[in-house]
Structure formats: structure tokens, C-alpha cells
Structure 1
Amino acid sequence: MNGPWDVHSDCTPDCAAPALPRVPATRIARRGAAFARTVRRALTDGERTAEPGRLRTHARALLDALDIHVEGAAALTSGGGTGTLVVANHISWLDILALLAVEPVTLLAKREVGGWPVVGGLARRAGTHFIDRTHPRRLPHTVRDVSELLAAGRSVAVFPQATTWCTAEAGTFRRATFQAAIDAGAPVRPVTLDYRQQGLPSTVAAFCGEDTFAGSLRRVLAARALTVRVTAHPVLWPLDGGLDRRELAALAARAALGGLPVTAVTGGGAARPAAPVPHAPPRDTPAHV
């Protein structure tokens, strides 16, 4: 059932296409077997999976089993007394593994992610906080929970687009979770995730529309030279810059979705984007909150 907070993506499974020919069937089989073994090891760790070191190890092992290389950021958080609100675009279930492989953080994800095969189980064991978008009255509670986590020094990663798109340039950022950073006085780290095959932009990893996990996994298993690039943009400091959640979301989206440089807000006045964020406007009014 769709709720008033649902976001609808124009992307469909037809958007997912490889940039290079498939690998041979023998390699697909080897990857599938390695992935299954790695999943079993991760899921048998139980509650220990939430330990940062184990979480990073499992995420990296799952990507290694799929022959997916992670490049880019060495860290996502900024240090200091509070946690960092990491805000990233959303393309695939692989996004979760990529972020955790770089730096284990607490994830905030839509409720449906908890039911996804493999990733859902790992996300639950990793202590992910799930959002039920069919009950919009829960949103203030979610914002408060995230703010408390940040104030306690725990970094939180969210996907403000609230759904998946096939490229890093589409969609828009919802504003609500940015309020948590303002309330906690926490920095915001915009992050761009994009997928390539031998340097060529690729949508093969996209998990959109009515796609199934099995169908997406088959494409990923067959993908040649797949790389996920994690780009960490300059940190935004909402309190020092006097930013409200609208301005903060716009600045973060400009960096994460447009890949355009944004001056970090460090205390000398708020940076402002010089041009509109290059993405389509949201199709449902509640996305403006």
C-alpha cells in the first residue's frame, strides 16, 4: 500500500543495463558460490555483526565475492563530539554494502529494506533503523531518534531520495532528516555513489521499480569489471552557517546529486548554491517537508 510519504521514481528495471559484455558463465557460477558462502558467514555472526570491525569486514567480503571494487573515499565521518549525518544518493542495494565497506555507520532505511534477501538480514543485524513511510506521523519521532544518535556521537547514513534511481544525477533530497543534524549540531557529509565498468558509466547495478533482488543479483553476478565509486564531498556545518533544513538539503543535493563543488560551511557564513540543483522536482507535495 502506498502512503502519502511515498516517492515515485521514473526508473524501471529496463534502466539497468551493462556497459560491457557479460563475464563467462563459469565466472558467474564461481561468483554466485562465493557470494552464498559469504552471506552464510555474515548471517551466522548474529548480534556480533553490529560490531564496527565485523560489519566492515562482512561488507567488504560480500563485495569481493561479487568482484566489485570500491574506490574513492577513505572515510565518511568528520570526527568531533557528535556523529556525522552521511547523506547519499541511492541507486542499488549495493549502496549499503559500499558505505559499510568504507566506514561502518548506523543506517536509516525504509522498512522494505529489512525484507530484502541478504542485505535485509545484514542490515537488521547491523542495527539499522527502519522508517515506515505508511505512517507519516512517525516522522518527527524518527527525526528525534536520529538527532539523539548524532548527539551521542554515532554517525548515521541516510538516503534522502527515499527511493532508488538508475544514476547519481536523478531525484531530489527530502528535507526532514536534515533537521536532525540541525537539532544535534552535527555536521553533514554529502556522498555520491556511482557505478562504472572499466571507467564507463554503468546502470547495471540499478535496483529500481518492480525489480526483484534475484533479477538484480543475476545482473551483478554477470557484470564485468564493476566498480562502485564513493565520493565524499566537503562537510557542511548547519549551525555555524545558520542553515535551515531547506538550505541544508539543497546544498547537500547540489554536491551529492550534481557532483558540483560546494564550499564547506565552517563558521564564516552559509554557503549558497550558485545554480539550481540539476534534478527533476519531486512529484508528490509531501516530499517538500
Structure 2
Amino acid sequence: MRYLIGSLRLLLVGLLILFILFLIYCVFPFMNWRARARIIKPVAPWIPWVLGMKLCVKGRVPDACAAERGYRSEGCGYMVCCNHISFVDIFVLDSILPVHFVAKKEIASWPLFGAITTGVGTIYIDRTRRRSVIEVAEAMRTTLESGENVLFFPEGTTGPGDALLPFHANLFSAACAAKAQVLPIALRYTLEGKTSTIPSYADVPLFDVIKRIVFTPGLVAEATILDPIDSSENDRRAINAIASANMAAALGFVDATAEAALKRRESATSE
């Protein structure tokens, strides 16, 4: 029975992806991003549901308009930061607050998911070019100032799901330039009440992860929305440290960013 249900879920995932691709290629080209956001928000939870996951959101987005429509009617959009574990992250996060994701350029060439990430307005960063960070930060600032939301993963890579990696502060400069609020969201996946690494695709082929998920009943995607951080009162390094500390506390994980900073200070002192 478990194999039968898992196989059915795989079929439904394929059909849902085809439907999302139809939206991206046949509907979204005729819409601006805000119109797309009103579609993305209700459609995004379908992927975790079809995969057999329960979605659990703790806390709330402070701006009621942004929470309902996916964008702020006045002022800057939110800069959302979150830990990165799985391809499911983007659907979980878009179900809370539709955003322009910041992702490595290589994802654009991925089969199926590359088209999806491009279609939802992802801002790509080319890590082979040093100037790309500056260009992406400027694109993020412009997007935030338009009232739309931007999300980046400050770990800079995919984590295992049972720990946080050290954060990188560079792109928080976009929030400071736009004077936008930073909204941390702490994400984890659980099974029978315990943190699970099953949905993580760190060093695991994407299709293998999908199979692991659909054949594992009872997985829960748990997202905790934390208090916004005021970028007008903190520089990018302070925001980076606060976000990491608050997310680590919410997840019950070690604050790897603080540990890395301490090691650097100790190393500098010993030299």
C-alpha cells in the first residue's frame, strides 16, 4: 500500500508540474509580477500537499496586505531570509509570502525546476563573476523599493536540514540601501516530531529526493516566521548576526555564524 500511494503521488507531482509549466508559459507572460503573486500564493501549497507533506506555519507576516496579496501596498517589500534545505522550500515559502528568489545561475538550466524558478521571477547570481554580487544587490534594492518581496538564502548553499550553516552578510546590503525590513523565516522538516534530513537535496540527485519524500508518509514542513529586523538601525553584518541568532534559537540549532565569527577573532588574536 505504501508503494502504491507513493507511486500515485509521483504521478500527481508530474501532472501538477505540467499545470505549473502551463501557467508559466501560457498565462504569466500576460501578467505583471503582482498579478502572478496572487496566483502563486494559493497554488504553491499544492506541491507539498501532493508530495504527502503537511504544512505548519508558526507566526505571521506583520503586514496584512503582504500576507494576503503577496506584496506591500505602501513602502518597501520585505527582504526574506531563510535557511535552505530542499527544493520544497520555494513552494513552502511562496505559500507564505510570494517572493523574488535569489538563486545561483545554474538552477536556470535545471530540467523543469529551472523553468519554474525563472517563471516566478527569480533573480540569478553568477558566482563566476565578482561583480555579479553588486549587480544582484542592486536588482534586489530596486525590487524591494517597488513594494515586492525578495528572498535569499544567507547560507549560500543547501544545508542538511538538521543544522544551520554560517551566514554570509553581503546581500543584506540591499535591505540597508532600500531601508527595507528583513523578515527571517526558520524552516525545518520533521517526521514523528523530530527533525528529518529526508527532504534535503544536499549532494543528492533531485529525483532521488522526490522519491524519498513521496515514499515517506508523515513528513511535516514547519516554517516559523520571526520578528522583522529594522535595516535602518543595523548594518548588513549586524543584520546577518541577528538573523542567524534568532533562526538558530527558533530551530534549537547551534548558531554557526556566531561560532565562525568567534573562531576568526581567536585566530586573529593568536597571530
Give the TM-score category using the shorter length.
Answer: 0.7 to 0.9
Q: What SS class does the counterpart of residue 44 from structure 1 fall into?
A: helix
Tell me what 2:193 maps to. 199
Cα distance, 1:134–1:257 mapped onto 2, change above 3 Å: farther
- Match of residue 226, structure 1, among 219, 227, 234: 219
| Aligned counterpart for 1:185 among listed residues 179, 192, 198 | 179
Distance 1:75 1:130 in 2: 28
Which letter maps to 1:69?
Answer: K
Judge conservation of contact 1:84–1:155 (CA < 8 Å) in 2: yes
In the TM superposition, residue 24 of structure 1 has moved relative to its aligned partner by 1.2
Give the direction of change, closer, same or farther, for the CA distance of 1:71–1:249 in structure 2 (3 Å limit).
same
Stretches of structure 1 that go unaligned for 5 or more consecutive residues are 1-22, 262-275
Deviation at 1:257, TM superposition (A): 3.3
Asked if 2 retains the 8 angstrom alpha-carbon contact of 1:81 and 1:153, the reply is yes
Quick one: which of 90, 101, 105 aligns to 2:99? 105
Q: Distance in 1 between matches of 2:43 and 2:114?
A: 14
In the alignment, does 2:235 pair up with 1:244?
yes
Contact residue 77 and residue 86 of structure 1 kept, 8 A: no
Equivalent residue number for residue 208 of structure 1: 202
Residue aligning to 2:246: 255
Output the TM-score relative to the length of structure 1.
0.78
Write out per-residue CA displacement over residues 92-114 of structure 1, whole angstroms, 9 at most, x where no aligned residue: 11111110122211111111222
- RMSD of the TM alignment (CA)? 2.2
Q: Which one has more relative contact order, counting CA pairs under 8 Å at least 6 apart?
A: 1
Corresponding pairs, count: 244
State how far apart, in whole Å, the 1-side matches of 2:191 and 2:111 are.
25
The alpha-carbon deviation at position 260 of structure 1 amounts to: 7.3
Q: Distance in 1 between matches of 2:107 and 2:239?
A: 26
Q: Call closer, same or farther: CA 1:174–1:257 in 2, change over 3 Å.
A: same
Give the letter for the 2:141 counterpart.
S
Moved over 6 A (4+): none
Shift of 1:168: 5.1
> d(CA) in 1 for partners of 2:140 and 2:174?
6
Supply the distance in 2 between the matched residues of 1:112 and 1:221 (Cα, whole angstroms): 26
In the TM superposition, residue 46 of structure 1 has moved relative to its aligned partner by: 2.5
Q: Percent identity?
A: 24
Instruction: Kindly state the Cα deviation for residue 259 of structure 1 after the two structures are TM-superposed.
Output: 2.2
Partner of 2:23: 45
Task: Specify the alignment match of 1:10 in structure 2.
Answer: none
Using the TM superposition, give the Cα deviation of residue 74 of structure 1 relative to its aligned residue in structure 2, in angstroms: 6.5
Picking from 66, 69, 85, the partner of 1:91 is: 85
Specify the alignment match of 1:13 in structure 2: none
Alignment of 1:48-63 (within 5 A): 48-49=27-28, 51-63=36-48
1:156-167 mapped onto 2 (5 Å cutoff)? 156-167=150-161
**Higher normalized helix content (fraction of residues):** 2
Conserved 8 A contact 2:77-2:180 = yes
Instruction: Give, in whole Å, the separation in 2 of the partners of 1:24 and 1:158.
Output: 36
Question: Is this contact kept in 1: 2:166–2:256, CA < 8 A?
Answer: no
Q: CA–CA distance in 1 between the matches of 2:109 and 2:60?
A: 28
Q: Is the Cα–Cα contact under 8 Å of residues 189 and 222 in structure 2 kept in the other structure?
A: yes
Q: Tell me, what secondary structure is at the counterpart of 2:44?
A: helix
Paired residue type of 2:194:
L
Contact 1:173–1:249 (Cα < 8 Å) also in 2:
yes
8 A contact 2:162–2:197 mirrored in 1: no
| 8 Å CA contact retained: 2:162, 2:196 | no
